[in-house]
Copies of this chain bind each other. A is one copy, B any other.
């Protein structure tokens, strides 16, 4: 069966070749300019061959976006052990998540705005409860429970908090992605405020909205 294995391996390599070419085109020319014919030109094959390895263009795009979004999710979980303090962990993870997402705007946008089954596995769907699968929501819920361990909130309260944070982070990233010409300084002013103030408010921590305000 080594023959079939090799076949499959070669097919996988070809798929990777196609995906890599697509990623480069998106990086160089933008996602709007991606076309089957351009991919074909880049890998030096005829356009038709691509349909031997993928069902259609959307399929390619979705696979690409899923892969990229997994990287963003990984960035989140890498903060899992960053600190003993749950609040610090929350802040670290969110900042990580935001900065990773901003480093691949095309992929993040496409992944979040796409509701294909391919991509939906990883994105922050509001469907699935926090306990289910979405890694970002699950991580946030854990953090929030930890933060409120002295005065426990209900499961649904925690879940709503987490969803609001995910939604707000999503909004921030989207806006920063759209407003490409925004100065770095302004950008980080917003991110800082979000991570240091807004998140804590949404997590039910601050009574005053400025840093230095009383915490619980």
Interface residues of A (CB under 8 A from B): 109, 112-115, 124-127, 153, 157, 160-161, 163-164, 167-172, 174-176, 178-182, 186, 189-190, 193-194, 197-198, 201-204, 206-210, 216
Question: Known contacts being A172-B171, A175-B170, is A198 close to B164, with CB within 8 Å?
Answer: yes
The residue in chain B whose Cβ has the minimal distance to the Cβ of A203 is: B209
Q: Is the interface of A mostly helix, strand, loop or mixed?
A: helix
Known: A109-B113, A198-B202, A204-B208. 11 other contacts (CB 8 A): A114-B178, A125-B179, A126-B182, A126-B186, A127-B182, A167-B168, A170-B171, A203-B209, A204-B209, A206-B207, A207-B207
Docked Cα-Cα span, A178 to B166, in Å, equals: 14
Docked Cα-Cα span, A12 to B164, in Å, equals: 44
Question: Known contacts being A126-B190, A186-B126, A204-B208, is A115 close to B168, with CB within 8 Å?
Answer: no
The residue in chain B whose Cβ has the minimal distance to the Cβ of A214 is: B207
